[in-house]
Amino acid sequence: MKIAVVGTGYVGLVSGTCFAEWGHEVICVDKNAEKIAGLLKGRLPIYEPDLDEMVARNQAAGRLAFTCDLAAAVANAQVVFIAVGTPSRPGQGDADLSFVYMAAREMAPFLAEGAVVAVKSTVPVSTGDAVEKIIAHARPYGSFSVASNPEFLREGAAIGDFLKPDRVVVGVEDGRARAVMAALYQEALGETPLVFTDRRTSELIKYAANAFLATKITFINELADLCEKVDCNVGELALGIGLDRRIGTSFLNAGPGYGGSCFPKDTLALLRTAQDYGVVLRIVEETIVANEARKRKMALKVIEAVGGDVEGLTIAVLGLTFKPDTDDMREAPSVPLIETLQRYGAVVRAYDPVGLQNAARLLEDVTLLDDPYECARNSDAVVVLTEWDSIRRIDLGRLRRLVRTPVLVDLRNALEPGAASAAGFHVSVVGQRSEHAEWANPTTDEPDFEKTASGLPRMVRGK
């Protein structure tokens, strides 16, 4: 089947490449000439494990092409996917659909007879209706269909999610579109559930799924706070409830809050949609508020771990991207955490294996390093913020020898606390009783403390 994908961002590039991997003839189009030129030379605009190899393989096989020529891209396509960005409007929270509408308007005159335009971008309810009207107005002749086909791709695992999904959701309003979309997916997916529904329900499914997962993350984070107060273990708690098949174990890892390109934007857009229709989504609203507070609260956890004051101290942050296996810094918890530490007077150094370029655009007065050990050298606390494999496998003994003060704050529970303690660290984790609750006391013999200007105890560096 001949496919055109409009937009070569995360969703468009992964989707187009995976369709080509299934044997379809795919052309991806983007207005950004620099991005297209890079793709033609094998330079990808995003980091996703194994994607570069898959792009190169399908380019070489003649199944995947890139262009800036929208007319040529859609002229012979049986299915045209709209996969452009839908960012939140600054200060408003609702989805900015200008790129979706622009794509629909500009492709309309060139669509093949009977083409299906499938919106893969994450969009609010009724967006497909608007796209249909835009195309019909710009192209008052010939037949076409508009479908909704939301993506459910996790950054860092997107290829597997696309090629072997839990389900595929398609919203259609006519039988021809249903037949085309079924033919597109069924041969490749076999027994994978192909959920057909009306277009508006399909659009809402995407937002509902992300809001539910965001709520699940926020729920376990709040339980983690309770675990710390009552001396319980949130990891064991998560296992105990997660083995209930009605709940499930995924998205029950306590941490510094959710981030990325989907959950923050989509929960806010869902809330705005509900408000437009006079519906109160109290759980979603509280999830958003709690998650934003969570990110900054983790900075206070770091401050508590060093004795209550970070003024003049050097904090080493290991991991900057919102999750491992991506270079995405959108809504990453690292940004508000670092900014909060800086406001309290800390000097911050940071390491990330692939996200430094994007981080440099968001962070000021932070020393960015591509080696975790150099990042930690002479630091007063090491903070684990993204569970990259390079951080999970870090040599704790070597790390201990490099730091000035042996404080390790693991906000992802990525390291074994016992091993870190054995290496000589005072360890603070999420959802468990942390050592600093016992040792952060100025009357103890080891480590030594000094009084700060605020009267709070602080560990003496070098001990």
**DSSP labels, 197-216:** E-HHHHHHHHHHHHHHHHHH
Annotate 87-152 with DSSP letters as a single string: PBPTTT-SB--HHHHHHHHHHGGGPPTTEEEEE-S---TTHHHHHHHHHHHH--SS-EEEEE----
Sequence spans of domains, the chain:
2-197, 198-463
Q: What is the pLDDT of residue 142?
A: 85
Q: What is the pLDDT of residue 435?
A: 57
Q: Distance between CA 463 and CA 112 in Å, rounded? A: 72
For residue 386, the number of C-alpha atoms closer than 13 Å in the C-beta half-sphere is 30
Q: Distance between CA 124 and CA 204 in Å, rounded? A: 7
Under a CB-based contact definition with an 8 Å cutoff, are residues 265 and 88 in contact?
A: yes
Within 8 A by CB and 6+ apart from 366, the residues are 338, 342, 348, 349, 350, 359
Please give the model's pTM, rounded to 2 decimal places. 0.89
Beta strands of 149-284 (E only): which ranges?
A: 168-171, 194-197
Q: Distance between CA 199 and CA 203 in Å, rounded? A: 6
262 in catalytic set: yes
Within 8 A by CB and 6+ apart from 245, the residues are none
Its CATH architecture, for the domain 198-463, is 3-Layer(aba) Sandwich (3.40)
Q: What is the pLDDT of residue 443?
A: 34
The token pair at 78 is 């049986």
In this structure, which CATH number among 3.40.50.1220, 3.30.300.30, 3.40.50.720, 3.30.70.360 belongs to the domain 2-197? 3.40.50.720
Tell me how far the alpha carbon of residue 55 is from its chain's centroid. Answer: 22
Give, in order, the Cα–Cα distances in Å from 248 to each of 213, 244, 393. 11, 6, 27
- Which H helix or E strand runs over 328? none
Q: Distance between CA 321 and CA 385 in Å, rounded? A: 8
Q: Which among 18, 227, 262, 375 is annotated as catalytic?
A: 262
Backbone angles phi, psi at 446, to 5 degrees: -145, 120
| pLDDT tens, the chain, 463 aa long | 999 999 999 999 999 999 999 999 999 999 999 999 999 999 999 999 999 999 999 999 999 999 999 999 999 999 999 999 999 888 788 899 999 999 999 999 999 999 999 999 999 999 999 999 999 999 888 899 999 999 999 999 999 999 999 999 999 999 999 999 999 998 889 889 999 999 999 999 999 999 999 999 999 999 999 999 999 999 999 999 999 999 999 999 999 999 998 999 999 999 999 999 999 999 999 999 999 999 989 999 999 999 999 999 999 999 999 999 999 999 999 999 999 999 999 999 999 999 999 999 999 999 999 999 999 999 999 999 999 999 999 999 999 999 999 999 999 999 999 999 999 999 999 999 765 444 443 333 344 434 333 333 344 443 3
Identical topology for domains 2-197 and 198-463? yes
Specify burial of residue 446 (Cβ count, 10 A radius: 0-12, 13-18, 19+): exposed
Q: Distance between CA 76 and CA 65 in Å, rounded? A: 14
Within 8 A by CB and 6+ apart from 90, the residues are none
- In the sheet where 25-29 sits, what is the strand order? 64-67, 25-29, 2-6, 79-82, 115-119, 144-148, 168-171, 194-197
The token pair at 218 is 């926020």
User: 279-288: which pairs have CB atoms within 8 A and are 24 or more residues apart?
Assistant: 281/211, 283/215, 284/211, 284/215, 286/218, 287/211, 287/214, 287/215, 287/218, 288/264
**Residue tagged 């990259």 (tokens):** 388
